């Protein structure tokens, strides 16, 4: 066994985190919709110039909300990376969609864009990228407009 380890989900601290955690605990609200959530809503609304911002407690909740708002229908096929969290595609599967898994790149562990075009079909309605292990999706997709791909 090697002594070498790669940290996974290591927190990045900038300086005020422990004070903010303490404030939240003292205020009695350590889950969503507390004072820091409200401050973040206000900040994002001002920065983005939008009337309302809603935050979710997790990416899973955000995907569930997106699937509901997109009015996902059965018989569609959505593409997602083969190496991701189950919740990435679960929000769509629960609404009757069939996942189509795409291989990932060895350098980013995100979907391999060179294999994307061959997986797109008339029943493809969404490409669901996943940013895993803090690696960005390092690709731009030059994809011709397809009226049948939604």
pLDDT higher than threshold 90 for residue 19: yes
Averaged pLDDT for residues 128-135: 68
Cross-strand bridge partners of residue 79: 100, 127
Please report, rounded to a whole number, the percentage of residues in the chain having pLDDT higher than 70: 84
**pLDDT digits 0-9 by tens, 28-82:** 988 878 888 899 999 999 999 999 998 888 888 888 888 888 787 777 788 888 8
Q: How far apart are CA 52 and CA 41, in angstroms?
A: 8
CB atoms within 10 A of CB 111: 27
Mean pLDDT of the chain: 81
Cβ atoms 64, 91 nearer than 8 A: yes
Q: Distance between CA atoms of 18 and 133, rounded to whole angstroms?
A: 24
pLDDT level of residue 146 (50, 70, 90 thresholds): very low
Provide mean pLDDT across the span 80-109: 86
Q: Which helix (H) or strand (E) holds 127?
A: strand 124-127
How far apart, in Å, are the Cα atoms of 98 and each of 60, 72, 103, 148? Answer: 18, 11, 16, 17
């Amino acid at each position: 066994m090697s002594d070498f380890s790669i940290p996974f989900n290591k927190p990045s601290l900038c300086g005020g985190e422990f004070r903010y955690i303490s404030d939240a605990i003292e205020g009695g609200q350590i889950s969503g919709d507390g004072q820091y959530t409200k401050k973040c809503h206000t900040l994002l609304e001002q920065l983005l110039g939008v009337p309302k911002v809603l935050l979710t407690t997790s990416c899973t909740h955000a995907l569930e909300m997106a699937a509901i708002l997109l009015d996902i229908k059965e018989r569609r096929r959505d593409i997602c990376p083969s190496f991701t969290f189950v919740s990435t595609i679960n929000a769509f599967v629960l609404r009757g969609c069939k996942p189509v898994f795409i291989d990932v790149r060895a350098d980013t562990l995100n979907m391999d864009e060179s294999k994307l075009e061959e997986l797109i079909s008339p029943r493809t309605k969404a490409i669901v990228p996943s940013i895993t292990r803090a690696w960005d999706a390092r690709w731009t997709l030059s994809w011709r407009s397809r009226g049948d791909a939604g």
